[in-house]
Structure 1
Amino acid sequence: MNQRKECEEAAKSLRAEHEHLASVVKGVHKRLRREYRASSQQHEAVWQQHSQDQASLKLYAEAMFRLATEHWTVYPETRIDWCRKVAREYFLQDGLRIALEKDLKRAKHKKQAEMLSSSKVSDLSKSTQKFVQTSPTDVDVCDEEFDTERSKSRSDACPVVTVPFTCKIRLLDVGSCYNPFLGSEDFDAVGLDLSPAVPTVIQCDFLQLVSSSLPPPSDPLTFDLNTLSSPLQRLPACSFHVVVFSLLLEYLPSPLQRWRCCVTAHGLLAINGLLLVITPDSHSQHRNAPMMKSWKMALESLGFMRWKYEKKDHIHCMAFRKVISKPSLMTRSLDPGTDGTNIQPAEMLYIPQDFNDACYDDVLDKTQKNNEDEDEDDSSNFLSAACELPMYNDDDNY
């Protein structure tokens, strides 16, 4: 009986500690959104003030570190586990090969359609016959006729990742806190954070980071990551296979800041590299489906293609593949708004709290608080990274 009571008391204490740590994290997010709103959306001024508030940054870093290392590790698969699993599946198993084969098929189908529209019936027949006789396992994923991005990227000094993949996965973890990927087998990991919780994480304001091309014939994927140090202000373009945004984008109060982070990530990735995005959502899979579709469209306009999506109990997990060297090469237009005007991609990286007035109020009565706890996504989004729900791959219309 006494043992049971002790267990209950320990669980209660652990739960109280968890709620306190989560309130610290959520409090910083709310304060940033409130200040952004009060400043008439002067996001740069708000962020500059925040980045200089060392006391607040230290409290936030300590809270996130304890949540991640003492509370979230009890679940069968954490957000970090998911990122490792997906990166290995893509680079070290068949993920990249299958993606390249699909690219090749799409390109050949497109070429056939263009030939048909040009009334090149004879050439179309020969091309179709050749395509039908080619099995998926025989597809040359390095077909020079198809691989236009390869030739484009040469002039851009951006390497193309292809198969077989024989090196370690170069991974950049943004908003890393404690560098959970460090020491992971198969990875060369670099952790960046505005306020690192441990010395192995490099101090960096990712919103201010500059990516620049190395002079030829330097290969950015051979750039020595061990030479990086705090404070970091510059990185070579196209120097990583993976960039991780785990619980990062919702930290930023402005959609434009989220967009800028994605633009920077695009510049740091090699062609066919992966951007892994983890964002909190404790609701059912379809509750915020429009938001996920909006994010997908925004990132595709930048030159990414979604490769994998998975909804867990408290998070959305997404993997986007960089398929275009420069954003200007993307010709697909975004859907117009209801008033007929074009929607800017940055505006599509919204979160529910951008529109929730209640989350800016300092004083709420009990009824308002209960309603906010039910409706506001930020309330329980930092509870866990547990449990599996259906997984979707590649070009799903989600």
Structure 2
Amino acid sequence: MATEEHKRLADIVKGTHALLRAECNQYGAEVAWERHMARNDTLQKYATSMQKLATTYWADNNSKNGTYCRMEWIKTQCKEYFLNGGKEKYDKRERDIQAKMALKKSDDENHIFEGDDIYTEDRLINSYERRISILDVGSCYNPLSVDDAFDVTAIDLIPMIGVFRCDFLNVAIGKEKILSPDAREIHQLPVDSFDVVVFSLLLEYLPCPKQRYNCCRNAYDVLKIGGILIIVSPDSKHVGANARLMKSWRYTLSRLGFMRIKYEKLRHIHCLAFRKCACKDVATRWCDLQRFSESDKKYMSETEIFIPQDFQIICPEEKQQQLDEYNETDLASIFSELPFDNEPSI
């Protein structure tokens, strides 16, 4: 049974998501995000609540119920890929796929080796004697930094200890990292510089499908060739309930240049890993081979990332309600995939 403190913290998180999503419907995504970013007190309460939920209530439930924690999944995937042969495996797979594609284009044999998609051994270097560089987006309290295998750059809208302030949705990406004068905020991230980008419970924070896509595009830009994007998304339903959406994510990210290399549905979360391919054609090949039904096609987009809430119907009367009149059911529906209340937590 959840304690009163547990419920209070969960309500802060649910309420923040409800307000952001409601303002997105009322004002549009850009204005809603600007209003959200201006509420420093709300952002601070949200960050503090998420930290306490994760470190106290979720961690306690994990230990009591033997639940595989999302952070352990992330750390395991990073080490398997970079330290235990995973990257070499997918380097070879990409080479093999590219060779097959070249054979099929025998009438224009040199096409695949021209331009930005040239494959060379130099683009896929398999040496990881150093620590794995990770950009943890929406990190909150920098939980990955406790592992010596990782060199973590943790960012969030409100910085806690060891976390930089940074709006990843709108951050500049250029040749080098640029910090604020007090070195507490990141103004620009370097292109092609990270081994891993982590989105843990991040995409559902954003109220607009286009914003989620923009975050994934930024992740692509800051990742090295052969680097991986790890996404953890809440969902307490059975594995098939949102299968179409998981397939649509794969479609959209493939068009962007990512190959999906890992997917697991754990009790309360979807866990996915995508590799930034050296040759974009290898990534998009999966899309080209698909034959989608008419009912599936509405989920497939090249520039949007959908979540279940995007398909909820809002009645005209509800749109006219004052934002502070959202009832408990409305609040819970925004972020209900997370087991905040009585269920064992992630």
TM bucket (normalised to shorter chain) is 0.7 to 0.9
The farther-off stretch of 351-360 and 177-186 is: 351-360
Structure 2 residue 174 is the aligned partner of structure 1 residue 183: no
Alpha carbons 1:336, 1:342 under 8 Å: kept: no
Structure 2 residue 101 is the aligned partner of structure 1 residue 110: yes
Q: Deviations for 1:275-310, whole angstroms, at most 9, x for unmatched residues? A: 000111010000000011011111111000001001
| Aligned length in residues | 324
Structure 2 residue 91 is the aligned partner of structure 1 residue 91: no
* Structure 2 gap ranges (5+): none
TM-score, L = length of structure 2: 0.82
* Structure 1 gap ranges (5+): 1-11, 121-145, 215-222, 387-398
Q: Deviations for 1:331-378, whole angstroms, at most 9, x for unmatched residues? A: 85697895999964233x11111222469774559xxx4x997xx473
- Provide the residue aligned with 2:173 in structure 1: 211
- Provide the residue aligned with 1:291 in structure 2: 245
Q: Deviations for 1:155-186, whole angstroms, at most 9, x for unmatched residues? A: xxxx8343243221000100000000113121
1:204-283 equivalences under 5 Å are 204-213=166-175, 229-283=183-237
Provide the secondary structure at the position in 1 that maps to 2:75.
helix
Provide the secondary structure at the position in 2 that maps to 1:253.
coil
Identity over aligned pairs, percent: 34
- Provide the residue aligned with 1:15 in structure 2: 3
For the pair shown, the structure with the greater C-alpha radius of gyration is 1
Alpha carbons 2:197, 2:219 under 8 Å: kept: yes
| Residues 352, 315 of structure 1: alpha-carbon distance in 2 compared, 3 angstrom cutoff | same
What is the alpha-carbon distance in structure 2 between the residues aligned to residue 378 and residue 73 of structure 1? Answer: 19
What is the alpha-carbon distance in structure 2 between the residues aligned to residue 65 and residue 48 of structure 1? Answer: 24
Deviation at 1:326, TM superposition (A): 7.1
Aligned AA (2:308): P
Alpha carbons 2:233, 2:270 under 8 Å: kept: yes
Q: Deviations for 1:239-262, whole angstroms, at most 9, x for unmatched residues? A: 100000000110011111111111
Aligned AA (1:46): A
> Which one of 46, 58, 74 corresponds to residue 32 of structure 2?
46
TM-score, L = length of structure 1: 0.72
Pick 1 or 2: higher relative contact order, CA cutoff 8 A, min separation 6.
2
- Provide the residue aligned with 1:389 in structure 2: none
Alpha carbons 2:244, 2:299 under 8 Å: kept: no
Alpha carbons 2:155, 2:165 under 8 Å: kept: yes
- Displaced runs of 4+ in structure 1, greater than 6 A? 146-151, 333-337, 339-342
> Which one of 306, 315, 334 corresponds to residue 350 of structure 1?
306
What is the alpha-carbon distance in structure 2 between the residues aligned to residue 377 and residue 114 of structure 1? Answer: 48
Q: Give the superposed CA RMSD.
A: 3.6
Alpha carbons 1:271, 1:322 under 8 Å: kept: yes
